[in-house]
Amino acid sequence: MTFASVLENPLYLRRDVLYSLSPPTGFLHRIGQKNELIMELAPILMGSAVSCVFVYGNPGAGKTGILLSLLDELKQEAGSRSMKLKTAYVNCSENRTETVILLEILNQLNPAKNYPKMGWNRAMVIDEFSSALDDKDTQLLVLLDEVDYVLKESGDDILYRLSRINDTVKTKVSTIVISNDVRVADYLKPRTRSAVSRVKVIFPPYTDEELYDILKARSSHAFKSGVVADHVLRKIAEIEAHRDGDARKALELLDNCAKNAVAKKRAKITLDLVNDADATLERDQTLNIITSLTQQQKLVYLSILKNQASIMGGMDVYKLYQETCSSYNLKPLTERRVRSFCVNLKDLGLVESEVGWLSDLKKKTRRIEVTLDDALKEKVVKVLRDSL
């Protein structure tokens, strides 16, 4: 292939529409959730803080896109009412401790100061954060996305602090928490659970009909007329609805079909391209997930993959992990932390993990099973080793 050959067969009008957080046709099949959030956030425009609204739903359910659009609407409405409203969006998959999250919020509130990511201890950051919120005429809305990462790895200190912050600062601070895990409350300590709001807004997975509507709306802006047939969109919608109901994955699969059509010099996206594109995309997504793991998570996963047995116990994982840490001259974490990493790897779909009977050990223990095929497993091990 050459750039010229790709441009000779253009299927796209605007490929970026497939990945935009703000679709040109608006958010389909989420009116109920949007209305709930408007009701919960409206008190901010009346001068009151909102205490930690929880938004739940699987990835690709529209949570982040709708909330970011509502933040823009909220700021516009506040401006028309001459209210001071600041917002901060923090992706917790990239900012996984209370200190780093507070620094990220500070950087967004005062970008000219350019707060460092490292070098400040927790007490310094907390003092600076409190000082920055010393304006009684200002409202601050903090949006913590993918908060699961913080709760599982660092605890719930950030949620407790934000739930109590209005007792100590003049700025009225409101918090919205986005979680991909409906069990997120299990990671909260009793003191935090009692301090945060009980308000929960649920984003259910999309059905196949809803995914079809989303694909049809986006494809009408992304591709030229006649490039995608309805039966192709329905096939993609059916595949993803039977998995997680993830609109993002459905749109990625459609894009992958289009790239394959361009590579094969097809004028249309045909049904036979869907399965091939799906298999390729699954491999790519697994590798992308692995590159996003922390160093210690990578060490745990590498230890699991190095084992020759298809099923292993939790203690075996920890022993192999200690050996892997030793080979990289790194200090191992506690067995409890490694257990939490195994649960996290299961949630990411990288292993199968459950408590059950292992005949080799003649007792109940956590059973961990690798589900990757041999070719992908070999590629994953290489990626892990290269990144450590």
* Distance, CA of 164 to CA of 92 (rounded, Å): 20
Q: What is residue 154's three-state secondary structure? A: coil
Closest CA to 53 of 139, 172, 210, 179: 179
183: left (phi over 0), alpha (psi -120 to 50) or beta: alpha
pLDDT given for residue 137 in this prediction:
78
Could you state, in order of their start, the residue ranges of all structural domains in the chain? 3-16+206-290, 31-203, 293-387
Beta strand segments in the chain, E: 53-57, 84-91, 138-145, 172-179, 200-203, 311-313, 351-358, 363-370
Q: How far apart are CA 146 and CA 64, in angstroms?
A: 9
- Sequence-separated (6 or more) residues with CB below 8 Å from residue 218: 17, 18, 23, 25, 251, 254
**Which pLDDT belongs to residue 203?**
96
Domain 293-387: top CATH class: mainly alpha
Q: What is the pLDDT along the chain (388 residues), one digit of tens a residue?
A: 777 877 776 799 999 999 998 898 889 999 999 999 999 999 999 999 998 899 999 889 999 999 999 999 999 999 999 999 999 999 998 898 899 999 999 999 988 887 877 778 889 999 999 998 987 779 999 999 999 888 887 889 999 999 999 888 999 999 999 998 877 777 888 888 888 877 899 999 999 999 999 999 999 999 999 999 999 999 999 999 998 899 999 999 999 999 999 888 888 999 999 988 988 877 777 888 888 899 999 999 999 998 876 678 777 889 999 999 999 899 999 998 898 888 888 888 888 877 654 445 455 566 788 878 777 888 888 889 888 8
- CA distances to 50, 51, 140, 210 from 175, rounded to whole Å, are 6, 6, 8, 30
Count the neighbouring beta carbons within 10 Å of the beta carbon of residue 232.
21
Domain 3-16+206-290 is found in CATH 2.40.110.10: no
> Are the C-beta atoms of residues 241 and 41 closer than 8 Å to each other?
no
Q: How many CA atoms lie within 13 A of 305 on its CB side?
A: 24
Residues with Cβ within 8 Å of residue 180, at least 6 apart in sequence = 57, 58, 59, 146, 148
Measure the CA–CA gap between 274 and 60, rounded to whole angstroms: 20
pLDDT for residue 143: 97
pTM score, whole prediction: 0.76
Is 206:244 a contact under the CB 8 Å cutoff?
A: no
Sequence length of the chain is: 388
Which CATH fold topology does 31-203 show? Answer: Rossmann fold (3.40.50)
Look-up: residue for tokens 């450590």?
Answer: 388
